Structure 1
Amino acid sequence: MILVLGALIALGPLTIDMYLPALPRIAEELDVTSSVIQLTLTGTLAGLALGQLIVGPLSDSLGRRRPLIAGVVLHMVASLLCMFAPSITALGIARGLQGMGAAAAAVVAVAVVGDLFTGSTAAAVLSRLMLVLGVAPVLAPSLGAVVLLEASWRWIFGALVLMAAGLLLIAAFALPETLPAAHRRPLQIRGIASTYGQLLRDARFIALVLVGALAMAGLFAYIAGAAFVLQEHYGLNQQVFAVVFGAGAVALIAATQFNVVLLNRFTPQRIVVCALAVATLAGLVFVAVTLTRFGGVVGFLVPAWTVLASMGFVMPNAPALALSRHPEAAGTAAALLGSAQFGLGAVIAPVVGLLGNDERALALVMTVSASLALILMLVVRPQPQPVVASPAVEAVPERA
């Protein structure tokens, strides 16, 4: 099940990261600036954010499988549109549709975890998913670079069509329905609005959503700026960039897996606070290094990777704490979580470009994201909602 859910949740990062080595080439071919081409990344993240808000309530009403299959089909069609896009406008629109299709996979994967697990167990499962998820940022730029060695950047999107087709088969034959019909919510506008209202009135839930979103914002800042900083400012070629970018993902993956060990001794809240404190300190060093240009590319990478590793402890724990507060609406809660993460990421990506698209802009955005998340955790002190047994949890033996 973890492998299946990991394959689902990896579709979004593959969609985001695989074309990163091609960004300078796409900008040159379409005759646009680096800041403009980054808007295609913003379009993808915006599609992921909007799509999750739509898919979440649908998955609580129709079950997990049908919205997932429809989303993957949309992703395949959008990838074909990207492949043949004649202009930057067409590419940006198609990337937005691509993000909406990938949103279905992201929501369903997290909602299934919410269906089956709560509390520290959910955090541990999400950490395991991060191991599978982490393979995507490691492989995606490398796969994109391999495609660029032999073909145009357009064939990167052709490869995404094939990957989505494989995921469609997995969704159709390997994923059971985890939300029984008796536990589904009616598909009514008033009911959907009521569920969202219930979640938005929970201040601690919103705090955890924002903490998770700020953690992802730091990651997306790195994704948006790393290709230009490492290739144009430090002179790395596409293949070396892919290796270096993958090393940062390895740091993130290692942290998510060590998080499972820490959960045996510490609460998820304590892990999040400590990780954000480390990320903030590393970020301050990062800013200082980039201002003085000390250490060259190594001076840039060490604090950047430290911040990424710290976020690896935040990203599984904050969503698990949030989902534990509302297991009765796991799909809608997962939608708000994912929408906030990718929505803030959509805002952060162009901010890096507007601030100069250099190492200083990248360091500043990552540091501010970590420090704001730390302040939020210290001020609000969000706790998980005590849960004895939700209907979804009680249904696990029957599904098993």
Structure 2
Amino acid sequence: MSDHLVKKRLGYALVLGSLAALGPLCTDLYLPALPSLANELNTNTATSQLSLTAGLLGLGAGQLIFGPLSDRFGRMRPLLLSLMLLLGASVWCAMAPNIDQLIIARLLQGIAGAGGAVLSRAVARDLYSGHDLTKFFALLMLVNGLAPIIAPVLGGGLLTFLSWRGIFGALATISILLFIFSATKLHETLPVERRSQGGAGAMIKSLGMLLRERQFMGLCLTQGFIMAGMFAYIGASPFVLQQIYHLSPVTFSLCFAINGMGLVLAAQVSTRLAAVWGELMMVKIGLIIAAVASVILVIAGALQAPLVTLLVPLFFSIINIGIIGPNAGSLAMQSQGRNAGSASALLGVSMFALGATSVPLTGIGGTSALSMALTLCGCFAIAILIFVLVAHPTFAKKTAAA
């Protein structure tokens, strides 16, 4: 890697991290408004959570669109298109007269917001490899991690003088600013000679090849189910902490921010340790933390424990994302060069599609601390099984062959 790229690493992380933050912003900014949104639109908790589910499905589906497109046409044109679509979808969300239209608009908003998420990883792979890629992913998580910390706090603050519709208006404003920023500050990182050839058939073939790579898909699904647990927390925590434990929107946002800060710090520490112990070891450590913390969280939920007793295992359940995320993502992307956009898309779609499935599970029979904890624990258990049975054996074979 050239000295020029080393000097530019932080700058790229700030720009690409802001784009990657579109996913968390689309989901987290309006979290404190979910209860009031449900009341105003005359709907119940489970139905209002479908607006979050729709956004997550869109974030997953959009990556399957913009990832392969970026391998074919370069990174910039799909990125600017996604930001234009995000503006239109955010305006529709702000003006939606009922929950049905809001769910549709949220789906489109998620599709549009996926552009920044998938292309930030693809551009990183264009520029870096090996431990440099892991370090850059950690920088992305540092910048990107500010979004889930700031977004609910900002959303809670906005609710003091705006309705939930105003929050979607804020997202529309953010999309305009990011469009201007991207158009003036970024440049194309995928030369024409490195772009995939052919039309839709070639893009589908590229995705099909990745689906057959056991190591890549094992890491992809491991990360996906870990993130599904986090999205279950994102979808259920506003109701658990505000309606059951009676926290105000601002206090809830502060609790959410503490967990986000822990996630960011865990990402930075794990990346430094990965330079010594390796990314594979850090993934294993993260999965152990996930297992222990989520089991304790289930016990706390079953006993209807006091708030502090619930928040401590919840904190450790969330920070493992910062350990597993950059390390598993780097291991998965390191083997992908020409197909970085498609690989990034599959990483993203696994996270958001599985997350969209986990959110409604927390509302079955009524959202509670126990339902949230059981969903987290179940997602983490599946992630561990996939890693042990699918991903890890491929590393063992490579070690034996060496």
CA–CA separation in structure 2 for the residues paired with 1:342 and 1:316: 16
Stretch deviating more after TM superposition (9-18 or 351-360): 351-360
Aligned to 2:210: 199
Unpaired segments ≥5 residues, structure 2: 1-11
Question: Which residue identity lines up with residue 258 of structure 2 in the other structure?
Answer: A
Partner of 1:208: 219
Matching of residue 306 in structure 1 with residue 306 in structure 2: no
Once residues 359 and 230 of structure 1 are traced to their aligned partners in structure 2, the CA distance between those partners, rounded to angstroms, is: 8
1:227 aligned onto 2:224: no
Q: Which residue of 2 aligns with 1:392?
A: none
Alignment of 1:262-273 (within 5 A): 262-273=273-284
Counterpart in 1 of 2:166? Answer: 155
Give the TM-score, by structure 2 length: 0.93
TM-score normalised to structure 1 length: 0.94
- 1:359 alignment partner in structure 2: 369
Assess if the C-alpha contact under 8 Å between 2:56 and 2:356 holds in 1.
Answer: yes
1:320 aligned onto 2:330: yes
- Give the letter for the 1:252 counterpart: L
Where does 1:341-352 land on structure 2 (aligned, <5 Å)? 341-352=351-362
- Give, in whole Å, the separation in 1 of the partners of 2:354 and 2:389: 21
Aligned amino acid, residue 329 of structure 2:
P
CA contact (8 A) 2:298 2:373 kept: yes
Contact 1:323 1:333 in 2 (8 A): yes
Q: Which amino acid aligns with 1:157?
A: F
Do 2:90 and 2:109's aligned partners in 1 also have CA atoms closer than 8 Å? Answer: yes
Cα offsets for 1:323-367 (capped at 9, x unmatched)? 112222000000011011100011111111115311001111111
Q: Is 1:101 aligned to 2:101, yes or no?
A: no
Output the CA distance in 1 between the equivalents of 2:396 and 2:129: 9
Aligned length: 385
**1:111 is the counterpart of 2:111:** no
Distance (whole Å) between structure 2 residues aligned to residue 190 and residue 137 of structure 1: 37
Choose the corresponding residue for 1:123, options 111, 134, 138.
134
Distance 1:233 1:340 in 2: 31
Structure 2 counterpart SS, 1:150: coil
Distance in 1, Cα, partners of 2:303 & 2:96? 41
Deviation at 1:384, TM superposition (A): 11
What letter matches 1:342 in structure 2? F
Instruction: Find the counterpart in structure 2 of residue 236 from structure 1.
Output: 247
Q: Paired residue for 2:339? A: 329
Question: 1:173 — aligned with what?
Answer: 184
Task: Answer whether contact 2:274 2:281 (CA < 8 A) is retained.
Answer: no
How far apart, in 1, do the equivalents of 2:60 and 2:388 lie?
A: 27
Q: 1:269 to 1:121 in 2, by over 3 A?
A: same
The separation in 2 between residues aligned to 1:153 and 1:287, in whole angstroms, is 32
C-alpha offsets along residues 127-151 of structure 1, whole Å, 9 cap, x if unaligned?
Answer: 1111101111111111111221112
| 1:274 counterpart SS class | helix
Matched, 1:52 2:35: no
| Preserved CA contact (<8 Å) 1:45 1:99 | yes
Where does residue 91 of structure 1 map in the other structure?
A: 102
Q: Does 1:72 align with 2:93?
A: no
Partner of residue 393, structure 1: none
CA distance, structure 1, for counterparts of residue 344 and residue 382 of structure 2: 22
